[in-house]
Amino acid sequence: MDTTTAILIAQAVASGMMAGIIWFVQVVHYPLFAGVEGPASASYARDNQGRTAWVVLPPMMVEAGAAAWLVARPLPAIGRGPAVAGLAMVGLLWLSTLAVQMPLHGRLARAGHSRTTVNSLVLSNWPRTILWTGRALLAAWMLAAAG
């Protein structure tokens, strides 16, 4: 297997993983935060942050690295446009994660349960859910197009 194929496979797997994770988070995980009340809620939120990072950081890093590699070395079968779009999607996902979701998680970890914060977390995560789904579809298309 050549490097390009390995990069495309890694990107498709990482993006697919993140799409699956984000749908689970959106439909199951984040809504369940609403039921974690009382003194243990801040501890729960802190534990959630620490455990989640171990699951999402590796595929996010692989996805970002693969997207950057494909922009630096665009493939004729894919073209520069889709590669740039893929990297832009990754950038938006990271920006949302760092600027929106992480501060909301931080608020829960510091102050504990807040229905307003949980609702903000769920609502603000929909764009990430849609974007990661599109990102996974784009990565799968790239892999198929490069044949």
Summarize pLDDT for 86-122 with one digit per residue, the tens.
999 999 999 999 999 999 999 999 998 899 999 999 9
Provide the pLDDT for residue 90: 98
**Number of structural domains, the chain?**
1
Residues across the chain: 147
Domain that holds residue 21: 3-146
Nearest to 121 by CA among 136, 135, 107: 107
As a whole number of Å, the CA-based R_g of the chain is 17
Amino acid identity at 82: P
Contact predicate 3/145, CB 8 Å: no
Q: The pTM is what? A: 0.93
- Mean of the per-residue pLDDT values for the chain? 95
Mean pLDDT of 71-94: 96
Chain centroid to Cα 13, Å, comes to 13
Vertex 108, ends 128 and 135: CA angle to 5°?
10
Contact predicate 132/18, CB 8 Å: yes
Provide the pLDDT for residue 112: 87
